[in-house]
A and B are shown apart, each in its own frame.
Chain A
């Protein structure tokens, strides 16, 4: 009994890692731009596909390379290219609206639509046949007592923790991190203080998108079947995680991701699996009604 709980706990950590990695991106962008980048989940999907094409290309060119070496090349390339996609989205779709001082409503709609364009564009361009990610890592199963873990699953959890530590460091200890926090408090004062607001925003998107790309790659390694809509649902869940944790705070996103992973694994253990999404969304609605600012969030007030 205890063994299965611990096993479930570990699975929850692995499952939640994906949510955390993606949630961190949502929260970074929201913290800086007060924008919920609804396209972020689809950037995760784009990352997975980019990883697929790079891996296939490398394996096609150098068939005899060991898997871990291919992986070592795929990781940075995926992250860089996915970051490029995210930044392009910012430049093409969000920045012009920001320049015009457009109502936030219009930017949110644009974000929602960009996500749909990415999903359906993928489906339209690449067709309906699902892609199968090549196996790059030999699975090694470690057994500790009744608990079994694969090296891949451990790697996923490890990556999430590393990314969090890295981001926490950047946001609290570096100048650009301080600039990111400053923008979230007062967007207008920041350029007056000589901080290039566009650069900080681009940096934020680079961070968020590259880690979403990493999550995409790790997900593709763990669950090798890719499909264009994979980002949609996971994106929503990661978003739930970010909100539950308190959107705008990366600690919240990190913990929220694991919390959601935990809830989902628990739900699937007890209820039929078709209820999983239903319950996740029901939780979201409840939290938003009771404490809209989540665990770590701070409520804003309007002056009457």
Chain B
């Protein structure tokens, strides 16, 4: 059974068809990419998976469960984590707090426990803090635990955002343009990081990306969309030589 199975998914907004007849099957531990020109509908696909929108048609099944009608926080609790094109960290809280808050699906205590500081509260808060340090340690961010993200360089912020996503122990990680805004040395670090995460955590990673060196060096399978329609899919070599893809990207120097 595949991890994420999307079949014939379509999304229309009023008169505009943003995503049309989209199908994909992602197995556990794959590293796949979704590429296409700006406005092709890629982020919309991610938003549909995350639960921000409901598909007009089609089905989304994750680990055998239908994602229809689920709210984003419920989708996340099932095991799909996500980062955003423009980094959505909470800039006025510490890095550690950013990680801790994503444990909301699994707090283990309620409001009354918080008021009374019961043993259940203390135990769970410790577990959450430990988990936070654990993830920060793994991604080499431990020394920034008490920093505010707004004070960190952009490359590090991206890493914190990925750490936050990993802290929910996802089975599938969605990365929306992780390399956006990074300089070339940060991009190399990012490529190494994603590759390492993929091997170390053994999770499926699906990314939207414009920078082709990231896509080509990491991904085993690429899907290309334009105007909401899938125009090609295949291995990196196949996509590089596909005339439709080249036409859609005409002028893009990254290819």
Chains A and B bind each other:
yes
In angstroms, Cα B174 to Cα A304, docked, is 15
Count of A-B residue pairs with CB < 8 Å: 3
Q: Can you name the residue of chain B whose Cβ is closest to the Cβ of A301?
A: B13
B47: chain A residues within 8 A (beta carbon): 304
In angstroms, Cα B155 to Cα A166, docked, is 57
Contact with A along B48-69 (1 / 0, CB 8 A): 0000100000000000000000
In angstroms, Cα B72 to Cα A304, docked, is 12
Give the shortest distance, in Å, between A211 (CB) and chain B (any CB): 36
Give the shortest distance, in Å, between A299 (CB) and chain B (any CB): 11
Find residues 31-84 in chain B having any chain A CB closer than 8 Å to their own CB. Answer: 43, 47, 52
- Which bracket fits the contact residues of B? under 10
Dominant SS among interface residues on chain B: helix
Give the shortest distance, in Å, between B101 (CB) and chain A (any CB): 19
Give the shortest distance, in Å, between A235 (CB) and chain B (any CB): 36
Contact with A along B174-191 (1 / 0, CB 8 A): 000000000000000000
Contact with B along A276-304 (1 / 0, CB 8 A): 00000000000000000000000000001
In angstroms, Cα B176 to Cα A304, docked, is 11
In angstroms, Cα B46 to Cα A304, docked, is 10
Give the shortest distance, in Å, between B70 (CB) and chain A (any CB): 16
A304: chain B residues within 8 A (beta carbon): 43, 47, 52
In angstroms, Cα B52 to Cα A259, docked, is 36
Find residues 109-160 in chain B having any chain A CB closer than 8 Å to their own CB. Answer: none
Q: Can you name the residue of chain A whose Cβ is closest to the Cβ of B86?
A: A303
In angstroms, Cα B47 to Cα A304, docked, is 8
In angstroms, Cα B240 to Cα A274, docked, is 75
In angstroms, Cα B204 to Cα A202, docked, is 58
B52: chain A residues within 8 A (beta carbon): 304
In angstroms, Cα B52 to Cα A304, docked, is 8
Q: Can you name the residue of chain B whose Cβ is closest to the Cβ of A303?
A: B43
Give the shortest distance, in Å, between A126 (CB) and chain B (any CB): 47
B43: chain A residues within 8 A (beta carbon): 304
Give the shortest distance, in Å, between B246 (CB) and chain A (any CB): 29
In angstroms, Cα B18 to Cα A304, docked, is 14
Q: Can you name the residue of chain A whose Cβ is closest to the Cβ of B47?
A: A304
Give the shortest distance, in Å, between B85 (CB) and chain A (any CB): 10
Give the shortest distance, in Å, between B34 (CB) and chain A (any CB): 16
Q: Can you name the residue of chain A whose Cβ is closest to the Cβ of B50?
A: A304
Give the shortest distance, in Å, between B43 (CB) and chain A (any CB): 8
In angstroms, Cα B193 to Cα A250, docked, is 56
In angstroms, Cα B13 to Cα A304, docked, is 14
In angstroms, Cα B51 to Cα A304, docked, is 12
In angstroms, Cα B43 to Cα A124, docked, is 58
Q: Can you name the residue of chain A whose Cβ is closest to the Cβ of B72?
A: A304
Q: Can you name the residue of chain A whose Cβ is closest to the Cβ of B84?
A: A304
In angstroms, Cα B52 to Cα A272, docked, is 46
Find residues 185-215 in chain B having any chain A CB closer than 8 Å to their own CB. Answer: none
Q: Can you name the residue of chain A whose Cβ is closest to the Cβ of B46?
A: A304
Contact with A along B14-43 (1 / 0, CB 8 A): 000000000000000000000000000001
Give the shortest distance, in Å, between B149 (CB) and chain A (any CB): 20
Give the shortest distance, in Å, between A268 (CB) and chain B (any CB): 41
Give the shortest distance, in Å, between A293 (CB) and chain B (any CB): 15
Query: Which B residues contact A (CB, under 8 angstroms)?
Result: 43, 47, 52
Provide a sorted-by-A list of 3 A–B residue pairs whose CB atoms are within 8 angstroms: A304-B43, A304-B47, A304-B52
Closest 3 A-B residue pairs measured CB to CB? A304-B52, A304-B47, A304-B43
